[in-house]
């Protein structure tokens, strides 16, 4: 459609061509966002690049997203895939849910189709106006973008920066934008305007012409084109704005042509020629003649109308009166036939526009919305289905029978729930209760009650809400007819599951699930199995759970569009973590991939909760705590009833590992008063007892323990957090010196001690169960049994890879060995303490490390020193060989390895980054002058942290009477203080360096980090050993670890250094 010359955008065009060349040469796709205001030339730029790429035999396809609804699911991808398939010479694939069970399968099907049509010929897919896309299209786009490493497709999307995004949620659009290379289009300047006029007129424009056009258009290319094409516009019209100029263009068309194009504009979203013909009474052949040139900015492609810019379509609509628009919408409602999602959505959109005309029009609109929601649900477009059901309900409320209101609310709630918006779904189900009761319809009441129960067990936490839910379920069961067997069975499962979770005697969930199984309804069976699984989280059901999750996955696979396939995967992942099964990691990655791809925020939240636990196990406690806060925000946003409790579990677990749990006494007290705390939750009362014991208040601790055990031990352990609660009670008994109680509790935990202590939905990992059993034995005075359990715990923890608890178990075993005092115990205890101290210091377990160092000083009353292990760093031909204590690796030479050799050869010595850079390049050292800070805030914090560690090191050295160790700490402390004095002023603020010095810091730091990263790829242990000892910044240093010293021999070229 573009007949205008193309001017400007040379840099942006070259960037896109470079990206296309990269896609072609590597076979790996890319995603680009071209952003700018309306009329900035985004579409024209992309079209021009696509035309140029066609000369390089690169296929291309174009399609547009549309504002205001009225588009089929996943649009515009069906259009794009179809066009690429046609260019590939294959039949356009059918992108529907008929061949796949869920949206993840549908998304994979789309990716497979794309890969098939571009694998032999790279292609570019142009998505115009991505800001107007629906959520399902954004989710699919993100899924495709995340798969571009598999095939050569350049995805280029345009984005209007001057318009609020359409139907898609800001969160999904933001997540998509993070994966993009962004090209921002700025307004034209004088140079670009002059170039355009020169191409158009084949002569140089005057300065006055360029200046006038720049002032009138603000550099907007589309506005520029319109003014140049219409020189007859007077000054007032030229200054009226782009939209007014476009409307003037519309008014200049013939009446017949304006009628046809205005009808197409109102029909929107790729209106078909035959539909416009029926609405206007114009023959299709006449329509093709009317749209025969480009003067209107409209063309017909594959039987559908295509506007060159959405502003032009809006100009046609704006020229119509309200009555004319209403008449066209009414005619379109009658003209659009068929039941597929495309037709259902477009018909519903037009019907809604005229719903206010009469009662009949409103009834038609309500029916169209309901039909549209149903079609979209079948096509797995849950976001759009929820939107249309909601529109239908807003029209029906107060004007339609209660049954219709209830049906629409239930449809909306089901779709919202499928999107993972739990709070919103619960509110909708709750709202549906009233019209269901008014309609006196048992089926509607049953569906509302089942939905109100939520996707988990015991989502209703306060007593009144819970009683209301159970009452509604029983009320619905009482009035259901004999033909409603499936609904009745579903209600029985819900009631039995709520009772079982509340430890009500004689609750028979398994029997209720068996009844559902016998009915042969796969969807109901999947729902029942998910609720049943939730009641099996106690340790006694460890292996049964996995079978139930497997059956749930099988049942869910037989039902199109159900969310329970994702729930089955979630339960399976949790089960594997609760078993300590190493397959859990792979299952977790699949869970995270699927929940992200499908936009399921409820399961995505559970994945975020589990990821905190995984990060904690890796020893990154500060990062885990930050992630816990992010997970809490997400959980509260979606309305997960356990969000606050899970956050408490995260933070309390981290504080426990840090040895700072007593600081949380007030927090635990406040959590116990929370309305969302489970009514029979015993872990927080147990935690309150433990924090009292740690604070020295043994009387209060014992009172709280007695309260937790008021009904005996069995109700405590038979819950999803039972094992964790038992561990806390054992720790409390040990802290208050009650060996009898600790031994008794250990006996109850013993049958499950082979399992890791992972409460609830894998919220935290508190190490192997054997560790707690060892604590119980030690408190009871059974030291041999304690040693055996703790040794078993160390072995079990290797599989869990829980770094904090590895250090804790080592120190705990050391303490028991020191207490037992058998032959060799003291020597082994000292080594265990040393390992725990080194690992704990690396993870920031400051409080525990301080205590362990004091305990180490008292082992056997003997002062002990640690022998350094040999290390060697040697330059070979074009490579470096690194060896520590017999473990070695070889990596290629790099500047960073040269820096490392300099630092290792001079341990505990500050070397300026500028000096290191000069040594590597042969350039003179850069003098200090005014510029960037010599020490950035992070460097100052690192120095202060290290000074604190050295103060503690001096205390330990004094306790041990180790003069050499104390002297090393004094020397390093003095050097650090000298650096701080040199690089900070009298007021403590950092002095400033020249920009060249700052560049040296960045260059040296990056070189060292790259070298360490390459070493870690070759050997993770060796890489970690250097990473933990190297400090970078304007001043760099190799820091000796007194707990694990290395005696280095460094050979770099012809020189050898030893330390």
Q: Could you read off the pLDDT of 668-686 as tens digits, one per residue?
A: 887 777 655 565 678 989 9
What is the C-alpha separation between 60 and 50, in angstroms, rounded?
A: 6
CA distance 130 to 407: 33
Backbone angles phi, psi at 76, to 5 degrees: -100, 15
Question: What does residue 34 show for φ and ψ, rounded to 5 degrees?
Answer: -100, 110
Q: What is the mean pLDDT of the chain?
A: 85
Most confident of 50-59, 214-223, 562-571, 611-620: 611-620
Q: Which among 154, 150, 146, 162 is positioned nearest to 127, based on CA atoms?
A: 154
**Mean per-residue pLDDT for 835-853?**
93
- Amino acid 772: pLDDT: 97
pLDDT digits (tens, 9 = 90+) for 775-801: 999 999 999 999 999 999 999 999 999
pLDDT 10s digits, 500-558: 877 777 678 999 999 999 999 999 999 999 999 999 999 999 889 999 999 999 998 88
- Which pLDDT score, from 0 to 100, does residue 926 have? 43
What percent of the chain has pLDDT above 90?
46
DSSP notation for 223-246: HHHHHHH-TT--HHHHTS-HHHHH
d(CA 125, CA 148): 12
Query: Looking at residue 989, what is its pLDDT?
Result: 46
Bridge partners of 183, per DSSP, are 34
- Say whether pLDDT at 324 is over 50: yes
Lowest mean pLDDT among 76-90, 842-856, 946-960: 946-960
Most confident stretch, 146-150, 322-326, 764-768, 962-966: 764-768
The pLDDT, as a whole number, for residue 987 is 39
Q: What is the pLDDT of residue 573?
A: 97
Q: Model-level pTM?
A: 0.71
Nearest to 727 by CA among 698, 672, 691, 687: 687
- Give the confidence band of 991 by pLDDT, cuts at 50, 70, 90: very low
pLDDT bucket at 986, cuts 50 / 70 / 90 = very low
Neighbouring residues of 154: CB distance < 8 A, sequence distance ≥ 6:
16, 19, 20, 23, 29, 30, 32, 122, 123, 124, 125
Q: Which pLDDT band, with edges at 50, 70 and 90, does 96 fall under?
A: low
Distant-in-sequence, close-in-space partners of 515: CB < 8 Å, separation ≥ 6: 489, 492
Question: Tell me, what's the pLDDT at 139?
Answer: 87
Instruction: Round to whole Å and give the CA distance between 168 and 133.
Output: 6
pLDDT over 70 at 763, yes or no = yes
Give 335's pLDDT tier (boundaries 50, 70, 90). confident
Q: Quick one: which H or E segment has residue 795?
A: helix 783-800
Query: Which range has the worst mean pLDDT, 523-527, 666-670, 914-918, 948-952?
Result: 948-952
- Mean pLDDT for the stretch of residues 254-259: 88
Alpha-carbon gap, residue 79 to 110, rounded angstroms: 12
**Token pair recorded at residue 506:** 């004689």
What pLDDT was estimated at residue 647? 92
Burial label for 740, CB within 10 Å (0-12, 13-18, 19+), is: exposed
| Token pair in block for residue 153 | 């497709």
Name the pLDDT band for 959 (thresholds 50, 70, 90).
Answer: very low
Q: For residue 927, what pLDDT band results from cuts at 50, 70 and 90?
A: very low
Give the model's pLDDT for residue 932.
45
Question: Is-cis flag, bond preceding 203, omega within 30?
Answer: no
pLDDT tens-digit series, residues 653-668: 999 999 999 999 888 8
**Is residue 1024's pLDDT more than 60?**
yes
Region 259-287: mean pLDDT is: 87
DSSP assignment string, 246-310: HHHHHHTS-HHHHHHHHHHHHH-SS-BHHHHHHHHT--HHHHHHHT-SSTTSEEEETTEEEES-H
Distances (CA, A) of 1044 to 884, 1028, 1029: 11, 11, 11
Q: Do residues 58 and 45 make contact, with C-beta atoms less than 8 angstroms apart?
A: no
Q: Six-digit token pair at 695?
A: 């604070």
**Rounded Cα distance, 33 and 812, in Å:** 55
* 558-599 pLDDT, tens digit each: 886 667 888 999 999 999 999 999 999 999 999 998 888 877
Residue 530, both tokens: 């998910």
* Token pair belonging to 877: 């031909």
Percent of the chain at pLDDT exceeding 70: 88
Distances in Å between the Cα of 170 and the Cα atoms of 164, 696, 999 are: 10, 50, 38
Nearest residue to 376 via CA among 365, 392, 388: 388
Mean pLDDT of all residues in 167-177:
73
**Is residue 770 over pLDDT 80?**
yes
Confidence at 638, pLDDT banded by 50, 70, 90: confident
Half-sphere exposure of 870 (CA within 13 A, CB side): 6
- Per-residue pLDDT at 395: 96
Q: Give residues with Cβ within 8 angstroms of 115, minimum separation 6.
A: 147, 150, 151
Exposed, middle or buried, 229 (CB in 10 Å: 0-12/13-18/19+)? middle
Contact between 796 and 756 (Cβ < 8 Å): yes
Q: Is residue 887 scored above 90 in pLDDT?
A: no
Query: Quick check: 1053 pLDDT over 50?
Result: yes
SS3 letters across 579-611:
HCCCCHHHHHHHHHHHHHHHCCHHHHHHHHHHH
Pick the more confident residue, 72 or 990.
72
At residue 89 the predicted structure's pLDDT band, cuts being 50, 70 and 90, is: confident
DSSP secondary structure letter of residue 321: -
Q: Which ranges constitute the DSSP H helices of 502-541?
A: 509-519, 522-534
pLDDT attached to residue 400: 94
Q: Is the pLDDT reported for residue 97 higher than 70?
A: no
Say what the pLDDT of residue 818 is. Answer: 93
pLDDT value for 548: 95
Would you state the pLDDT for residue 1? 43
Residue 1032 confidence (pLDDT): 85
Residue 61: closest CA among 88, 94, 22, 93: 88
pLDDT tier for residue 767 given thresholds of 50, 70 and 90: very high
């Amino acid at each position: 459609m573009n007949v205008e010359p193309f001017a400007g955008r040379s840099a942006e065009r070259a960037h896109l061509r470079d990206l296309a060349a990269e896609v072609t040469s590597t076979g790996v796709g890319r995603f680009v966002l071209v952003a700018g205001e309306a009329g900035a030339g985004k579409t024209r730029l992309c079209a021009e690049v696509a035309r140029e790429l066609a000369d390089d035999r690169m296929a291309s396809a174009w399609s547009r997203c549309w504002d205001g609804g009225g588009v089929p699911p996943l649009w515009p991808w069906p259009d794009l895939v179809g066009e690429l398939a046609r260019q590939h010479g294959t039949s356009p694939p059918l992108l529907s849910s008929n061949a796949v069970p869920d949206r993840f399968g549908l998304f994979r099907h789309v990716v497979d189709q794309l890969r098939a049509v571009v694998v032999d010929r790279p292609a570019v897919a142009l998505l115009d106006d991505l800001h107007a896309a629906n959520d399902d299209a954004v989710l699919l786009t993100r899924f495709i973008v995340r798969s571009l490493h598999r095939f050569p497709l350049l995805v280029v999307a345009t984005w209007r920066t001057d318009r609020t995004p359409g139907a898609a949620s800001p969160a999904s659009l933001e997540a998509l934008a993070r994966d993009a290379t962004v090209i921002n289009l700025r307004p034209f300047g004088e140079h670009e305007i002059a170039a355009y006029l020169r191409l158009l007129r084949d002569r140089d424009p005057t300065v006055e012409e360029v200046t006038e056009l720049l002032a009138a258009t603000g550099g907007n290319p589309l506005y520029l084109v319109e003014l140049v094409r219409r020189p007859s516009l007077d000054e007032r019209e030229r200054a009226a704005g782009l939209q007014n100029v476009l409307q003037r263009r519309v008014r200049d068309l013939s009446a017949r042509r304006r009628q046809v194009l205005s009808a197409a504009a109102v029909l929107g979203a790729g209106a078909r020629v035959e539909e416009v013909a029926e609405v206007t009474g114009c023959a299709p052949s006449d329509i093709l003649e009317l749209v025969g040139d480009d003067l209107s900015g409209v063309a017909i492609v594959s039987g559908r109308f295509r506007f060159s810019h959405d502003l032009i379509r809006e100009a046609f609509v704006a020229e119509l009166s309200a009555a004319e628009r209403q008449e066209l919408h009414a005619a379109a409602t009658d003209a659009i036939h068929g039941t597929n999602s495309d037709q259902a959505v477009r018909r519903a959109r037009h019907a809604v526009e005229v719903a206010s005309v009469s009662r009949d029009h409103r009834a038609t609109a309500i029916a169209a919305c309901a039909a549209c929601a149903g079609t979209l649900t079948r096509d797995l477009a849950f976001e759009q289905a929820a939107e249309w059901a909601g529109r239908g309900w807003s029209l029906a409320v107060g004007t339609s029978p209660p049954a219709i209101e209830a049906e629409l609310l239930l449809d909306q709630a089901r779709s919202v729930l499928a999107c993972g918006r739990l709070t919103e779904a619960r509110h909708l189900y709750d709202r549906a209760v009233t019209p269901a009761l008014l309609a006196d319809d048992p089926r509607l009441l049953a569906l509302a009650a089942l939905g109100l129960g939520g996707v988990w067990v015991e989502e209703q936490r306060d007593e009144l809400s819970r009683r209301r839910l159970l009452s509604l379920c029983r009320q619905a069961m009482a009035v259901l007819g004999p033909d409603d067997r499936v609904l009745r069975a579903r209600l029985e499962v819900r009631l039995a599951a709520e009772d079982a979770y509340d430890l009500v005697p004689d609750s028979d969930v398994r029997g209720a699930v068996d009844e559902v199984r016998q009915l042969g309804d796969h969807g109901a069976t999947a729902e029942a199995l998910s609720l049943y699984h939730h009641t099996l989280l106690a340790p006694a059901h460890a292996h049964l759970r996995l079978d139930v999750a497997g059956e749930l996955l099988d049942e869910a696979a037989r039902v199109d569009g159900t969310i329970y396939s994702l729930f089955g995967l979630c339960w399976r992942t949790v089960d594997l973590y609760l078993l300590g099964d190493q397959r859990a990691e792979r299952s977790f990655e699949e869970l995270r991939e699927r929940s992200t791809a499908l936009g399921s925020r409820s399961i995505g939240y559970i994945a975020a909760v589990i990821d905190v636990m995984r990060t904690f196990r890796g020893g990154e406690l500060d990062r885990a705590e930050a992630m816990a806060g992010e997970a809490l925000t997400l959980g509260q946003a979606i309305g997960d009833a356990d969000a606050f409790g899970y956050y408490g579990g995260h933070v309390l677990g981290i504080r426990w590992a840090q040895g700072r749990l007593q600081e949380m006494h007030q927090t635990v007290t406040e959590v116990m008063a929370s309305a969302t705390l489970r009514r029979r939750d015993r872990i927080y009362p147990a935690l309150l007892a433990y924090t009292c014991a740690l604070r020295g208040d043994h009387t209060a601790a014992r009172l709280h323990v007695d309260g937790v055990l008021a009904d005996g031990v069995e109700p405590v352990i038979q819950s999803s957090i039972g094992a964790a609660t038992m561990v806390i009670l054992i720790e409390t008994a040990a802290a208050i010196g009650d060996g009898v109680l600790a031994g008794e509790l250990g006996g109850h935990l013993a049958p499950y001690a082979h399992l890791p202590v992972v409460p609830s939905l894998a919220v935290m990992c508190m190490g192997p169960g054997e560790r707690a059993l060892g604590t119980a034995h030690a408190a009871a005075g059974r030291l041999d049994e304690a040693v055996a359990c703790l040794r078993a715990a160390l072995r079990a923890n290797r599989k869990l890879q829980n770094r904090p608890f590895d250090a804790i178990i080592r120190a705990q075993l050391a303490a028991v060995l020191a207490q037992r005092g058998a032959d060799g115990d003291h020597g082994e205890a000292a080594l265990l303490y040393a390992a725990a101290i080194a690992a704990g210091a690396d993870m920031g377990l400051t409080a525990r490390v301080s205590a362990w160092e004091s305990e180490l000083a008292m082992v056997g009353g003997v002062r002990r020193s640690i022998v350094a292990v040999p290390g060697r760093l040697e330059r070979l031909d074009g490579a470096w060989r690194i060896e520590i204590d017999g473990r070695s690796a070889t990596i290629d030479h790099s500047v960073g390895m040269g820096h490392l050799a300099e630092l290792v050869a001079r341990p505990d010595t500050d070397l300026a980054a500028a000096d290191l850079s000069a040594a590597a390049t042969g350039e003179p050292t850069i003098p200090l002058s005014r510029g960037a800070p010599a020490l950035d805030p992070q460097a100052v914090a690192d120095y202060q942290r290290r000074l604190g560690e050295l103060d503690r090191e001096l205390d330990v050295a004094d306790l041990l009477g180790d003069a050499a160790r104390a002297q090393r700490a004094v020397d390093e402390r003095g050097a650090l203080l000298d650096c701080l004095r040199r690089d900070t002023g009298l007021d403590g603020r950092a002095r400033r360096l020249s920009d060249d010095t700052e560049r040296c810091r960045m260059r040296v730091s990056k070189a060292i980090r790259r070298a360490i990263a390459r070493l870690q790829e070759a050997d993770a242990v060796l890489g970690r050993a250097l990473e933990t000892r190297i400090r970078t910044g304007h001043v760099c240093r190799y820091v000796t670890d007194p707990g694990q010293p290395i005696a280095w021999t460094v050979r770099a070229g012809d020189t050898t250094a030893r330390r």
